[in-house]
Every structure is written in C-alpha cells, then in structure tokens.
Chains A and B, each alone.
Chain A
Amino acid sequence: MITNRLKISRGAMYLILIAISTATFFPFLWMVSTAFKPASEVFQSPPNFIPQKPTLSNFIIGWSILPFGRIFFNTTFITVTRTVLSAFLASLAGYAFAKYRFWGHKFFFLLILATLMIPFQLTMIPVFLLLGKIGWLNTYQGLIFPGVAQAFGVFLMRQYFRTIPTELIEVSRLDGASEFRIFFQIILPLAKPALAVLAIFSFQGSWNEFLLPLIVVESDWLLTIQLGLSKFRGELWTDWGQLMAMTLISIIPVMIVFLAFQKHFIKGISLTGTRG
C-alpha cells in the first residue's frame, strides 16, 4: 500500500519534472527548429515543429550578412583577454587580503565590496565620457578594461586563499623565496579550482555582455556577438530563420563551456551566490 503510493508519487514527480524541463528548454528547441527551416516554412502559419525540408542555407547566407568571422574573433579575443586579466588581478588582490595584514586593508576591502552596489548601468554615461577622453571609444581596450576589475572575483579568491595554511607561506619565506615567487610558484597553482570558477563566470559575463559594446562600438569591424545579433534585425523585416541560425552558433561556445564545467557553475553559485 505504502510502496504503491510512493511509486505513484515518484512517477508523478518525474512527469512534473519532465514537463517543467521541456517547457524550460522549449525556446531553445524552437530556435534550432527555426534555424533549419527554409524561409517558406519559417513564415508559415500554423507553424511546423519539425522542419519538413531541413536546410543549411540559413547558416550559409546568415553568416555573410554581417562579418561574422570577424565578430567571433573579436568576441573571443575580448573574452579571453578579459578573463585572464580579471582572474589574475583578482587572485593577486585576493591573496593580499587573505594573507597580509597591512595598513588600510579593511578600508580597501570594503571599498571593493562597496562597488558591488554600483552596477555599470549607473555609471555608463561617465564611463562613456571617460573612454572618449582617453581615446578608447571604438577600440578593443575600451571593451576589455572597464570590465576587468570585478569585486566578486576578489571576494571569491580571498575566501579561497584563506583556506590555504599560512605555515606553507612561512616555510617558503624561511627558505628565502621572495613574496612574488611564493605567490606565482606555490599559491597560484594551488588556486586552480577557484580560478576555474572565476574564469567560467568571467567568460560567461564577457561573452554575453551587451550594454558596454552598445556604448563603445561604432564600426562594424569591432562588433561583438551580442551586438551583432541585435543589429541583425531589420527596421521593417527580419529573416528569423537566418537570425536563429546565427543565434544557435553564438550559443555553442557557451554550451560547450557549460557542459564541460557544469559542476563548477553550480559550485560557483553556492560559493558566492551572486553574479548577475
């Protein structure tokens, strides 16, 4: 009797879960379906769920409408540079806050935490003016550097470095290793798990960034993927088949990173809770 009821509730739970995750994932399925449809099927009502005559023409034609090769190069370059810089600077600062007692360390740390209260949306007008003043509008630097200093990264690295025993550092000091050597040869290799979490979030944030490119980019050669996708739509008419094909391509790198590092994603959230 009891086992029977349990079975039913377990079955019902699976049904609920399958329904929820299908509904959650449905927009992506719809994107894939549209991307492989010929125009005649894209603009057809009522719509088909599965393309009757699947085609790759959306990918081929869509790719040539905007300089997508360049766009992907730009986005990859910006994302990688920013991720490496961000992770490096955050671990330097995080290490200092975890393992040194220096005059003003509390003040500086609070200052960094306080910037969590100041999203980019608040400062976008002066950042735009500032980039204009130093001639960084419409440049790679202008897309990379404003996003490098992430308070959350410093916080994450500090929490992680605190778990590393201080004796390890002191022993190396007694061996005569310089502070920088200790950091690079002993501490940084130990920080790989935290660095992985940080790098993934930084990758995600940078690849998906929209507002900063929207303000900084003026010419087509500097377009990033999100800005390119938003410009793909016409004033009056949009070829949704081609747009969905390009959207699908833009998701693939994120999807690969997600599948490869799913554990880190989840762990990162429970570590810090924040981000976004």
Chain B
Amino acid sequence: MTGTEKGLRLSFFRRRPNISGIKVVPYLFILPHMLLLFIFVLIPVVWVLVLSFFHWDVFFPPRFIWFNGFIRTLREPLFWKSLGTTAFYVCGHLLFKIPIAIGLALLLNRRIKGRILFRGLIYFPYVVSMVTVALIWQWMFSAEYGVINFLLSGVGGSYTKNILGNPKLAIYPIIALGVWKNAGQTMVIFLAGLQGIPETVYEAARIDGAGPWKTFWYITLPLLKPITLFVLVISTLGSFKVFDQVYIMTNGGPGYATMTIVQYIYREGFERFNLGMGATASCYLFLILLSITIIQMKFFGKEAGYQ
C-alpha cells in the first residue's frame, strides 16, 4: 500500500518536470533557427515589398509613391531586356543541360570499370565556385591569347575573334559555362532516379522483344518523368538567379547585351542607389519565379501523376 503510494509519488515528482519540459523544449530547439530565419529572410521579404512602394535614392528621404514604382519599372526598356536575356539563358540552360545529364546518367549507370572516376570528373565543376570557373573560362575565351580561339582556328574559325566582346555572341559562352558546371550535378540526380527503376521492368521489356531504343523511349523516359519535373523546377529556379558568371565574364556587357535580371537588381540597388526600383524589380522576379513553379507543377505534375 505504502509501496505503491511511494512509487506513484516518485514517478509523479520525477515525470512532472519532464512533461512541462517537453512542452517548451521543441520551441527552444527551433528558436535559434527561426530567429535567424526571421531576421535575415522574413524581415527582408517584407522590407523588399514595402520598399517597392517608395522612391528612395539614399540621398533624399524615401517618398511613398503607391504603385508608380511598379509602373515605372515596366516602362524601363532595360528591365525588359534583362528579363529577355535571362529567359534566353534559362531556356538554353534547360534545353542543353537536361538531355546531356540524362545521356551521361545512362552512360554511367552501367557496371563498367572506373565509373566512379568518370562520375567524379564530370561532377567536379559543380563543386568549384562559379567565380573560379568563370575566371578560367574568361581566360580561355580571351581574344588574343585564348585557347578557345586557337581550337576554333583549327576548324576554320577566325583566330582573334572576341566572342565575349561581341553583343550577339557573348551570351553563348555564359550559357555553355552554366551547362558545363551543373550537368554533373543533374546527372547524379538522374542516376538516383535510374537506380530507382526496378530491374524486372527491363527484363519484361526484353522478353517482349523491345530493343534498347524502344526500352529507353517507352520505359526509362516515362519512369524518369517525376524526377525530370523535379530537375526542371529546381533548374529553372536556379538558372533564373544567374549572376556570378555574368558579373565575372562580361559584367552585363558589352553594352547591356548580357545583363540578367539579378544584374539589373544589383545595378539599381548598389550602383545607381535606386533602392526603390531595385526592390520593385525583386518583387517582379519573385512573382515570375512563383508563377513558373506553379505552372510547371500543374502542367507537368499531372502528366507525371505527381501531385
């Protein structure tokens, strides 16, 4: 009698602090992360929205201008031009990177000697900073001493062509750099996808007499659809933010030929001190990213049965 009473009391005393502790503990656990998130992400998001309703050039106090900033940005030819350049970059990036990555993944999915080494070599550019590789590429594309011109001259190109200095051509090395740097990472994602396809599916196809091409077209590709959607979404978001390589290789030039949307925001905010306009352009960029993601999820998501 007393024994159970004692036991009850003991467990009561021992557990109570624990139970009340459990209620507070998870909040303490997430607190540091949430605090930093709040300060460095959520406050700036609200701030960027508020800022875009103001005209503010640092030298004079901010002035509330309603939606005029949004309207003015839409009237800026350079805003549209940089959006167009970014869209062109994104399309080029996706169009080349995804098929190349699927091809590489198919090649390296087989059991062959040295595939870890090959994977490592192809993946390596992704690990290195964009600044570093953009500098190397800029040097390779140098007009007088660049190795690219030397290699091109071997196949009949003119020897001292200044590709990065040509407004019509400068965007292509920038696209190529993005594809080259990220294809390895995308390949690894597809490799994970390929390994998720059970061997029995291929066996069934073989028994039905499907050749390698048919197997790829009717089996592998459809089964890769969910992962392709995933790659499509993150690659679009990632490549829309293109900044570092343009900043290094051409700094938006020649003229404004390779200026991207993030470059535009950077220029408005940090070079022309037009903080309101920079914020407005950021808002537009956010709207674009959001709607592209939603459209891709809706459109391709249904097809992939992936909602």
Residues of A within 8 A of B (CB): 10, 13-14, 16-17, 20-21, 24-25, 27-28, 30-31, 34, 42-47, 89-90, 92-93, 95-97, 100, 102, 105, 108, 111-112, 115, 117-119, 121-130, 145-146, 148-149, 151, 154, 173, 176, 178-180, 183, 204, 207-208, 210-211, 214-215, 226, 229-230, 233, 240, 243-244, 247, 250-251, 254-255, 258, 262, 265-266, 269-270, 273-274, 276
A151 to B248, CA, bound (A): 28
B131 touching A208, Cβ below 8 Å? yes
A47 touching B135, Cβ below 8 Å? no
* CB contacts between A and B, total, < 8 Å: 246
Which residues of B are found within 8 Å of A30, using beta-carbon distances?
Answer: 136, 139-140, 147
Q: A20-B122, A125-B282 are in contact. Are A154 and B33 (CB under 8 A)?
A: yes
Which residues of A are found within 8 Å of B278, using beta-carbon distances?
Answer: 125
Query: From DSSP, what is the main secondary structure of chain B's interface residues?
Result: helix
B22 touching A100, Cβ below 8 Å? yes
Residues of B within 8 A of A (CB): 14, 18, 21-23, 25-27, 29-30, 32-34, 36-37, 39-45, 47-48, 51, 104, 107-108, 110, 112, 116-133, 135-137, 139-140, 142, 144-145, 147, 150, 153, 159, 180, 182, 184-185, 188-189, 191-192, 230, 234, 237-238, 241, 243-244, 247-248, 262, 265-266, 269-270, 275, 278-279, 282, 285-286, 289-290, 293
B40 touching A146, Cβ below 8 Å? yes
Q: How far is the CB of B83 from chain A (nearest CB, A)?
A: 14
A45 to B144, CA, bound (A): 7
A179 to B71, CA, bound (A): 54
Q: A117-B293, A119-B241 are in contact. Are A27 and B133 (CB under 8 A)?
A: yes
B121 touching A24, Cβ below 8 Å? yes
A to B CB contacts below 8 Å, 11 in the list: A25-B121, A31-B139, A45-B145, A89-B33, A93-B29, A111-B37, A124-B269, A210-B130, A247-B132, A254-B128, A273-B192
Query: From DSSP, what is the main secondary structure of chain A's interface residues?
Result: helix
B185 touching A276, Cβ below 8 Å? yes
A208 touching B139, Cβ below 8 Å? no
